[in-house]
Amino acid sequence: MRIDILAVIPELLSGPLQHSILQRAQDKGLLEVYVYDLKDFGLGKHRQIDDYQYGGGAGMVLRPEPLAEAIRTLKQQAGGYDEIIYLTPDGPRFNQSTANQLSLKRCILLVCGHYKGIDQRIRDVFITMELSIGDFVLSGGEIAAITVVDAVGRLIPGVLNDETSALTDSFQDGLLAPPVYTRPANFEGREVPEVLRSGHEANIDQWRYEKAMEKTKHRRPDLLE
Ligand code: ADE
């Protein structure tokens, strides 16, 4: 899978791509991530990318021309995109189901906004999907984009092995994950539940299911509706 990211501050993206599972996915040739700087498509000598908003009000808006030029250029370079996704707090909420769907795509472009966002005409013409990572406002789309890359990248077939399998993750079966324990069996007087040390697989599965259900009912009843 190939993920292109169009960013205002590309420097924000480099760290997370160079570690752990995302690095391994790239090393295995299962994921390619390319980061592009919107300022390279900026207007004039000062490479301007933003401007005041029509109608007045605080905050700058990313101008349509650099975005259009960038998206057209990248689209041609990539040989087309399956989705062109704009990260924005007013988009539909990103979740595990969307991550699963995106992990099966061949090539996507993530567009990061900044300040008050991007000119609406770019959303109308080029954007095929919008995503918010939660009901809060980040300073820009880069951190949202890297969140999507991480959640999607680990689901690409072949990226995770048995040890890191996504099948037991929270949300993957519609429930929050049950508690987990490792050694020692007794930590400062607190014991690991007996059933987990019993070696009885069916009982362990049953216990995990009950704990997952309990936690989900308590913390996220909306997931059970
Ligand atoms: N850009 C700023 N805030 C965001 C959010 N919550 N989700 C996605 N993109 C954003």
Looking at the fold, whether 143 and 186 belong to one and the same domain comes out as no
Name every protein residue with a CB atom under 6 angstroms from any ligand 1 atom: 87-89, 113, 132-134, 136-138, 141, 144
pLDDT tens-digit map of 193-205: 999 999 999 999 9
56 and 129 co-located in one domain: yes
For 9, the 3-state DSSP assignment is coil
Cβ atoms of 213 and 178 closer than 8 Å: no
| Domain assignment of residue 161, yes or no | no
Classify residue 158: in a domain, yes or no: no
DSSP single-letter state for residue 58: S
Which amino acid appears at position 169 of this protein?
Answer: D
108 & 6 share domain: yes
Pick the last residue of a domain from 97, 120, 153: 153
Protein residue with its CA nearest to atom 6 in ligand 1: 89
Among 123, 153, 183, which residue terminates a domain? 153
Tell me the pLDDT tens digit for each residue of 95-151: 999 999 999 999 999 999 998 999 999 999 999 999 999 999 999 999 999 999 999
Q: What pLDDT shows up at residue 163? A: 67
- Residues 172, 145: one domain? no
Segments in the chain forming alpha helices (H): 11-17, 20-27, 64-78, 96-102, 120-125, 142-153, 201-219
- Nearest residue to 158 (alpha-carbon basis) of 32, 2, 29: 29
CA 174/CA 14 separation, integer angstroms: 32
Same domain assignment for residues 113 and 35: yes
Closest C-alpha to ligand 1, atom 7: 132
Distance 128 CA to ligand 1 centre (A): 17
| pLDDT digit string, tens, across residues 62-109 | 999 999 999 999 999 999 999 999 999 999 999 999 999 999 999 999
**Mutation to probe ligand 1, out of 86, 115, 138 (largest number of atoms < 8 A from CB):** 138
Res. 12 pLDDT band, cuts 50 70 90: very high
Domain that holds residue 217: 168-224
Q: 173 and 149 in one domain?
A: no
**Whether residue 202 sits in one domain with residue 149:** no
* CA 94 to ligand 1 centroid distance, Å: 10
In a domain, 89, yes or no: yes
Instruction: Specify whether 220 is located in the same domain as 144.
Output: no
Q: Is residue 62 in a domain?
A: yes
Residue-level pLDDT at 105:
97
Mean pLDDT of 144-159: 96
